[in-house]
Amino acid sequence: MKTGDQIVEELPWRWGVQGRIFIIGGLGYLFDAYDIALNGFLMPLLGSHFGLSLAGRGLVATANLVGMAVGAVAWGAVADRIGRTKAFSVTLLIFALFSVLGALAPTYPLFLALRFLAGVGLGGCIPVDYALVGEFSPRAYRGRVLTALDLWWPVGVTLCGLVSTVMVPLDGNWRWMLATMVLPALLLFWVRRGIPESPVYLTKKGREAEARVVIDDLVARTGAPAEPYVIPEPVAGNGRRGVTAAAEQLRDIWAHSPRVTSVAWSLFATVMLVYYAALSWMPSILKEEGLGDTASFMNTTVMSGVGILGVLVSTALVDVVGRKWLIGVSAPVAALALVAFALVMRAPTGSVVAIAVFGFVMQLAIPAMYAYVSELYPTPLRASGFGWASSVSRALTGFAPLLFGSVMWPALGLAVTFAVLGLAVLVAVVWMAVAAPETKGRALDGDTADVRAQDPRAVREQTVV
């Protein structure tokens, strides 16, 4: 007899059922993208408003990204304990509150503190969104669905670029840029209230009656034939909370498989380091080359705009060529495009072409990487495993804008700086090729023998807050 998880994984795809969850989850992801992209547009404006050096401007992105690193770990753990939907909603409320306070900040130190706190709220969106959407998605479509989820990222970045460009002429433009996100975030919070809890999560927590209600509803709404199924007994938890639980959580994801977790962390750290370096500093780089705010903002928007096409192509390829091949080829090529940009940036046409190539190819890699890392972990560890990988990248990339503006760019020049970052990406994808399995077509919790062979310790139930 099938389990409840298998029933969910074998359902047909319906836009009115799983598609609704995909859209609502994607909108939260759009806000995450918008907020990170906003750092790059705020940096030159805040630099002029508060009279900041390049290093001081880099703190704008650093404060926000470090906050997101904290949020990714905290909310991934919370989602693994209290459920996807509760964590799903609260993250946006925290983000909205501190964003509006940040728009009113009278001093730069206070602004940085509020951007950090807004990041803590929004940092939970990606791990929670991916866990929830992935656990509702049928196995046959899961790779494409999780990859397509990343389509919301370049849409959010592009929308941020367009709105920021329009607001450049306004007095207090950076304050208006922050304030524009608050009302949509609150509206999305309201819409999210109607999403059911993940049935996969409920079965792992032993909440059989609730799981059956959700599963039976999904079967009826998708038109799948009803059949009997069982809900397996959950693995008993250890009941730990707080700091001890956080340490236990970290131990669990490494005990699951050191090789898999090292691959997840190295991919996130290097690929996102390259992407965030470009996203955070591109308006400032172009402005240093003599472009005005409007022109530098629009060229950066081109980079994100072509990324929408990149995500669509990635979605089409991910279940054809597999996650590992798509990441392994596109991520190093994207880094190479940045090196090319640095070499030709004084040629207007060449620099725009190089930026566009980077934006397209990088968005081939990132959606596949997010889907891949989400699939590497079993259900009890999925949100927290993804959250820790995201947190590592956010922590590293959080300090990268500061180091980029104060050390690497002035000392090495742009071309060498981007080449060093590209070398790190190459090392990460080579390690992925030899250390982690391909997840294309694999059941979420059904094919763990390969990683267990790499690490004989059994996967333990995650109970961390």
| pLDDT given for residue 454 in this prediction | 36
Phi-psi category of residue 417: left, alpha or beta, with phi > 0 → left and psi -120 to 50 → alpha: alpha
CATH of the domain at 131: 1.20.1250.20
What's the domain range around 37? 2-225+242-437
Q: What is the pLDDT of residue 464?
A: 29
Q: Which amino acid appears at position 450 of this protein?
A: D
Q: Is residue 458 part of a domain?
A: no
Q: What is the DSSP string of 400-414?
A: HHHHIIIIIHHHH-H
Structural domain contains residue 170: yes
d(CA 311, CA 307): 6
Task: Give tens-digit pLDDT for 101-158.
Answer: 999 999 999 999 999 999 888 877 777 777 778 889 998 888 778 778 878 888 999 9
The two structure tokens encoding residue 162: 């367009």
Report the pLDDT value the prediction gives residue 458, as an integer from 0 to 100: 32
Assigned domain for 160 exists: yes
Question: Is 236 inside a domain boundary?
Answer: no
Structurally, the chain folds into a number of domains equal to 1
Residues of the chain falling short of pLDDT 70: 76, 88, 235-246, 443-465
DSSP run (H or E) holding 3:
strand 2-3
Q: What is the pLDDT of residues 168-198, one digit of tens each?
A: 888 888 999 998 888 788 877 887 777 888 8
pLDDT attached to residue 195: 82
Q: Is residue 213 part of a domain?
A: yes
Residue 94 lies in a domain: yes
In a domain, 461, yes or no: no
Alpha-carbon distance 38 to 174, whole Å?
Answer: 9
- Asked whether residue 180 is domain-assigned, the answer is yes
